[in-house]
């Protein structure tokens, strides 16, 4: 009888505690994503714009002498859009400028435009922006990576940080 | 009922007549006056010019206590040049010993109206040009800030609807905050009514040769068009959340014209065909040459040319005399070029010449290589300037005022330009000018 009671107690204990089902815990994985427009609200100075642009296109720093010279050139022309376009197209004539080839761009348009947004705007592309560019590239087969880089470098968002 | 209908119709009709409408240019009303000329070229004969060496023609007699007087600005002013101790010309045997030959057969004084003694209350370079361009004394404004009240460029563009490429501000450099004077921060005006600024000796100088000259020429339809389409998309997305950039409002066509102009100037420079004056051995004279090219290309309604080499007077009086003589040579060349090389502007252009301020009565103690003393700009003598006007409808051979009788003020220049270009009433109605009087009102 005593053994039987012990057996009942053991069975009861096992029934009570061994079948306790664990509740699932749901968690979110951390994803690095920069916000839309990345909170840019400060206008770059001419020197900042040129040094950042140069580093972006040549993957090397601009010498201080050249930075002053280019800044003076931009200051000497009132319409800054015109001045930037002339300086930038002068950069594009250099052999050292580092731009993906057109064939590389066309081989993976999605990857190219994602990387371009990160390179120039330091943020992720939105789906609306992706759709515009993919459609634009597909309907304009002659658009080159250089033209895309020019458009980004001359855009207003690139003037801010 | 009939009465009610009548009142309703009258009110609607009245509103239609009196309500201002905004034209694409941003102007509210048609300009209300007739133009005396279709073009104004204003030479800010700047850097600080003493009356003694300019209008009063005292050369070394006053400044250096050396008995040699005479006129070293003989394209602008009547009067015989000095004959002794010539240091202001080009160099033959000794520095500056050969005066530059006269450009004009008739001086501007003979062709126009000359205010010999005009007041200029501010005596700093930036403040002086600021006042010339805004018609306002900027007593509270320092360097490195845009004008607080509108410039004459903005008045012209907003009140008459001129395009951006019809207003040019050409400086002989980018120092002294000069590039900031293309437009003001005034809330009703600003960048969209600004002038096209150009400092040609920088743009087309050594730095420009290195960083601007080899710019790629993109095909307008095949390359620029898709490039701009992408840029506009990016800008539209940005505008939905970001800040707008100041833009002086050149259209795409105007931007193309400016880029083409820059390319052409590099080519003309290489081929030696820029319209420089016969002597072009100074920054001021090079600036005049490029200004001539701007006039020929764009035929602007308003061009302001800022010269400032005479500022060397602080430490080199001989250099100041050379610069004064060269500025006169440049002005003579400019007037000759307009009359003979730009048919659209010939006989239809008024030129105004005025310094931004004067220079001191007493020297500063710094001697140059000729043992001549330099002069700064801080005393009451620095508040003395002149004003010369020449062009259609302007009295010829008329001189007003003298050393003992000041007539006119530097703030009268902005309304004078407005009167020549037919919008004086409009500019006066803005209520933003220090004086509503033009120089014509003082004759």
Please, which pLDDT band fits residue A36 given cuts at 50, 70 and 90? low
Cβ–Cβ below 8 Å for B164 and A89: no
- Residues A139 and A153 both lie in one domain: yes
Report the residue from A37, A72, A81 with minimal CB separation from B241: A37
Q: What is the pLDDT, as a whole number, of residue B30?
A: 55
- Residues A104 and A94 both lie in one domain: no
Q: Which residues pair with B167 in a beta bridge?
A: B302
Question: Whole-angstrom Cα distance, residue B389 to residue B407?
Answer: 14
Whether the pLDDT of residue A33 is over 70: the answer is: no
> If 0-12 CB within 10 Å is exposed, 13-18 middle and 19+ buried, where does residue B169 land?
buried
Cβ–Cβ below 8 Å for A78 and B195: yes
- Residues A105 and A89 both lie in one domain: no
Please, are residues B168 and B300 in contact by the beta-carbon 8 Å criterion? yes
Q: Give the domain range for residue A111.
A: 100-161
Altogether, the residues listed in chain A come to a count of: 161
Question: Whole-angstrom Cα distance, residue B256 to residue B261?
Answer: 8
User: Is residue B225 less than 8 Å (CB to CB) from chain A?
Assistant: no
- Residues A88 and A112 both lie in one domain: no
Whether the pLDDT of residue B18 is over 50: the answer is: no
Q: How many folded domains does chain B comprise? A: 1
- Average pLDDT (A92-119) is 96
- Residues A87 and A128 both lie in one domain: no
- For the ranges B21-30, B225-234, B294-303, which has the lowest average pLDDT? B21-30
Q: What is the pLDDT, as a whole number, of residue B3?
A: 46
Helices assigned H by DSSP within A97-161:
102-107, 109-121, 127-139, 145-154
For chains A and B, CB pairs below 8 A equal: 140
Q: Which residues pair with B409 in a beta bridge?
A: B119
Q: What share of chain A in percent tops pLDDT 70?
A: 87
Residue A6 resides in a domain? no
Which residues neighbour B436 within 8 Å (Cβ) at sequence distance 6 or greater? Answer: B415, B428
Residue A35 resides in a domain? no
- What percentage of chain B's residues is helix, strand, coil (to nearest 5)? 40, 10, 50
Q: What is the pLDDT, as a whole number, of residue A10?
A: 78
Residue A4 resides in a domain? no
Whether the pLDDT of residue A31 is over 70: the answer is: no
Please, are residues B325 and B312 in contact by the beta-carbon 8 Å criterion? no
Q: B246-272 in b/e burial notation, b at 16+ Cβ within 10 A?
A: eebbbeeebbebbbebbeebbebbeee
Cβ–Cβ below 8 Å for B234 and A157: yes
Residue in chain B lying closest to A94 (CA): B214
Question: Whole-angstrom Cα distance, residue B409 to residue B386?
Answer: 9
Residue predicted with more confidence, B220 or B355: B355
Question: Whole-angstrom Cα distance, residue A106 to residue A100?
Answer: 10
- Residues A68 and A86 both lie in one domain: yes
For residue B28, give the 3-state DSSP assignment. coil
Nearest to residue B249, comparing CAs of B331, B148, B157, B335? B157
Report the residue from B179, B196, B255 with minimal CB separation from A75: B179
- For the ranges B9-13, B339-343, B430-434, which has the lowest average pLDDT? B9-13
B 190-209 → A contacts, CB under 8 A = 194-200, 202-203, 206-208
Chain A positions in Cβ-Cβ contact with residue B210 (cut-off 8 Å): 66, 69
Q: Give me the helix-helix angle, B225-239 and A127-139, nearest 10°.
A: 170
What are the pLDDT digits (tens) for B187-208? 999 999 999 999 999 999 999 9
Q: Which residues pair with B337 in a beta bridge?
A: none
Chain B positions in Cβ-Cβ contact with residue A66 (cut-off 8 Å): 210-211
Q: How many folded domains does chain A comprise? A: 2
Q: What is the ipTM of this complex?
A: 0.90
Q: What share of chain A in percent tops pLDDT 90?
A: 73
- For chain B, give the mean pLDDT: 92
Closest-CA distance of chain A to residue B130, Å: 17
Handedness of CA A117, A121, A122, A124 (dihedral sign): negative
Residue B336 resides in a domain? yes
Helices assigned H by DSSP within B277-412:
283-298, 317-341
- For the ranges B7-11, B71-75, B259-263, B407-411, which has the lowest average pLDDT? B7-11
Residue A106 resides in a domain? yes
Query: In whole angstroms, what separates CA A14 from the centre of its chain?
Result: 56
User: Is residue A56 less than 8 Å (CB to CB) from chain B?
Assistant: no
Please, which pLDDT band fits residue A155 given cuts at 50, 70 and 90? very high
Please, which pLDDT band fits residue B113 given cuts at 50, 70 and 90? very high
Q: Which residues pair with B307 in a beta bridge?
A: B45
What are the pLDDT digits (tens) for B137-186? 977 777 789 999 999 999 999 999 999 999 999 999 999 899 999 999 99
Question: Whole-angstrom Cα distance, residue A153 to residue A49?
Answer: 9
Residue A147 resides in a domain? yes
Q: What is the pLDDT, as a whole number, of residue A21?
A: 66
- Residues A127 and A142 both lie in one domain: yes
Residue B43 resides in a domain? yes
User: Is residue A34 less than 8 Å (CB to CB) from chain B?
Assistant: no
- Residues A91 and A114 both lie in one domain: no
- Residues A92 and A106 both lie in one domain: no
What are the pLDDT digits (tens) for B222-263? 999 999 999 999 999 998 877 778 899 999 999 999 999 999
Q: What is the pLDDT, as a whole number, of residue B47?
A: 82
Question: Whole-angstrom Cα distance, residue A138 to residue A136?
Answer: 5
Residue A17 resides in a domain? no
Chain B positions in Cβ-Cβ contact with residue A132 (cut-off 8 Å): 233
Q: Of A67, A98, A129, which closes a domain?
A: A98
The secondary element (H helix, E strand) that includes residue B305 is: strand B302-307
Cβ–Cβ below 8 Å for B262 and A86: yes
Report the residue from B169, B241, B255 with minimal CB separation from A81: B255
Neighbours of B403 (CB within 10 A): 12
Closest-CA distance of chain B to residue A27, Å: 32
User: Is residue B247 less than 8 Å (CB to CB) from chain A?
Assistant: yes
Nearest to residue B45, comparing CAs of B329, B260, B317? B329
Residue B24 resides in a domain? no
Please, which pLDDT band fits residue A18 given cuts at 50, 70 and 90? low
Report the residue from B214, B227, B242 with minimal CB separation from A93: B214
- Residues A143 and A88 both lie in one domain: no
Residue in chain B lying closest to A91 (CA): B215
Please, which pLDDT band fits residue A12 given cuts at 50, 70 and 90? confident
Chain A positions in Cβ-Cβ contact with residue B207 (cut-off 8 Å): 69-70, 72-73
Question: Whole-angstrom Cα distance, residue B64 to residue B280?
Answer: 28
Residue in chain B lying closest to A69 (CA): B207
Please, are residues A117 and A130 in contact by the beta-carbon 8 Å criterion? no
Please, are residues B191 and B226 in contact by the beta-carbon 8 Å criterion? no
Report the residue from A66, A79, A140 with minimal CB separation from B255: A79
- Residues A111 and A150 both lie in one domain: yes
Cβ–Cβ below 8 Å for A129 and B237: yes
Cβ–Cβ below 8 Å for A82 and B194: no
Question: Whole-angstrom Cα distance, residue B99 to residue B332?
Answer: 14
Residue A79 resides in a domain? yes
Residue B214 resides in a domain? yes
- Expressed in angstroms, the distance from the first to the final Cα of chain B is 59
Nearest to residue B146, comparing CAs of B186, B188, B181? B181
Tokens of B351: 């030129």
Residue A28 resides in a domain? no
Tokens of B39: 């073009």
User: Is residue A37 less than 8 Å (CB to CB) from chain B?
Assistant: yes
For residue B169, give the 3-state DSSP assignment. strand
Q: What is the CATH number of the domain that holds B110?
A: 3.40.720.10
What are the pLDDT digits (tens) for A103-113? 999 999 999 99
Whether the pLDDT of residue A61 is over 60: the answer is: yes
- Residues A104 and A155 both lie in one domain: yes
A 117-156 → B contacts, CB under 8 A = 128-129, 132-133, 136, 140, 142-143, 147-148, 150-152, 154-156
Question: Whole-angstrom Cα distance, residue B359 to residue B372?
Answer: 15
**What are phi and psi for residue A133, nearest 5 degrees?**
-70, -40
For residue B104, give the 3-state DSSP assignment. coil
Q: Of A98, A114, A146, which closes a domain?
A: A98
Which residues neighbour A91 within 8 Å (Cβ) at sequence distance 6 or greater? Answer: A53, A54, A57, A58, A97
Q: Give the domain range for residue B292.
A: 39-442
Closest-CA distance of chain B to residue A83, Å: 9
Please, which pLDDT band fits residue A6 given cuts at 50, 70 and 90? confident
User: Sheet holding B398-400: strands in order across?
Assistant: B196-198, B167-171, B302-307, B39-45, B349-354, B384-390, B113-119, B398-400
Please, which pLDDT band fits residue A37 given cuts at 50, 70 and 90? low
Cβ–Cβ below 8 Å for A78 and B197: yes
Please, are residues B439 and B394 in contact by the beta-carbon 8 Å criterion? no
Which residues neighbour B234 within 8 Å (Cβ) at sequence distance 6 or greater? Answer: A151, A152, A155, A156, A157
């Amino acid at each position: 009888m005593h053994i039987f009671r012990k057996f009942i107690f053991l069975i009861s204990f096992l029934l009570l505690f061994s079948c306790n089902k664990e509740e699932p815990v749901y968690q979110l994985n951390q994803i690095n994503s920069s916000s839309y427009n990345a909170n840019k609200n400060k206008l770059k100075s001419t020197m900042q714009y040129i040094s950042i642009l140069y580093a972006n296109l040549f993957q090397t720093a601009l010498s201080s002498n050249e930075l002053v010279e280019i800044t003076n050139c931009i200051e000497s022309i009132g319409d800054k859009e015109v001045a930037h376009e002339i300086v930038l197209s002068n950069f594009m004539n250099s052999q050292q400028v580092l731009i993906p080839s057109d064939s590389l761009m066309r081989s993976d348009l999605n990857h190219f435009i994602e990387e371009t947004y990160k390179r120039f705007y330091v943020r992720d592309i939105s789906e609306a922006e992706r759709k515009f560019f993919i459609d634009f590239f597909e309907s304009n087969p002659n658009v080159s990576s250089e033209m895309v880089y020019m458009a980004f470098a001359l855009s207003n968002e690139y003037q801010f940080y | 009922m009939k009465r009610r209908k009548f009142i309703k119709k009258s009110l609607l009709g009245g509103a239609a007549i009196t309500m201002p409408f905004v034209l694409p240019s941003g102007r509210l009303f048609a300009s209300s006056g007739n133009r005396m000329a279709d073009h104004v070229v204003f030479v800010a004969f700047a850097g600080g010019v003493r009356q003694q060496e300019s209008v009063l023609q005292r050369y070394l007699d006053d400044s250096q206590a050396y008995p040699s007087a005479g006129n070293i600005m003989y394209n602008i002013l009547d009067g015989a040049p000095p004959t002794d101790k010539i240091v202001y010309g080009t160099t033959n045997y000794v520095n500056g010993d050969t005066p530059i030959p006269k450009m004009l057969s008739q001086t501007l004084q003979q062709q126009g109206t000359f205010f010999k003694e005009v007041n200029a209350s501010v005596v700093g370079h930036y403040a002086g040009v600021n006042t010339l361009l805004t018609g306002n004394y900027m007593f509270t404004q320092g360097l490195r800030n845009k004008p607080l009240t509108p410039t004459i460029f903005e008045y012209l563009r907003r009140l008459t609807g001129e395009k951006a490429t019809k207003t040019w501000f050409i400086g002989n450099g980018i120092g002294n905050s000069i590039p900031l004077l293309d437009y003001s921060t005034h809330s009703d005006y600003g960048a969209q009514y600004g002038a096209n600024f150009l400092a040609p000796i920088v743009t087309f100088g050594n730095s420009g040769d290195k960083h601007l000259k080899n710019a790629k020429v993109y095909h307008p339809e095949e390359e620029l068009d898709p490039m701009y389409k992408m840029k506009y998309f990016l800008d539209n997305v940005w505008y939905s959340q970001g800040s707008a950039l100041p833009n002086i409002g050149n259209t795409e066509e105007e931007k193309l014209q400016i880029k083409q102009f820059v390319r052409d100037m590099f080519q003309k420079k290489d081929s030696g065909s820029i319209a420089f004056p016969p002597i072009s051995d100074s920054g001021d004279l090079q600036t005049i040459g490029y200004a001539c090219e701007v006039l020929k290309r764009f035929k602007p309604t308003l061009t302001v040319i800022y010269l400032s080499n005479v500022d060397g007077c602080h430490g080199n009086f001989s250099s100041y005399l050379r610069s004064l003589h060269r500025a006169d040579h440049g002005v003579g060349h400019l007037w000759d070029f307009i009359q003979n090389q730009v048919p659209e502007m010939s006989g239809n252009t008024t030129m105004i010449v005025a310094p931004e301020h004067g220079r001191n009565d007493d020297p500063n103690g710094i001697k140059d290589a000729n043992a001549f003393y330099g002069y700064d700009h801080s005393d009451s003598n620095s508040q003395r300037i002149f004003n010369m006007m020449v062009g259609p409808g302007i009295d010829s051979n008329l001189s007003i005022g003298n050393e003992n009788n000041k007539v006119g003020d530097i703030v009268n220049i902005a309304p004078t330009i407005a009167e020549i270009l037919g919008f004086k009433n409009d500019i006066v109605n803005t209520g933003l000018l220090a004086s509503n009087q033009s120089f014509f009102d003082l004759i």
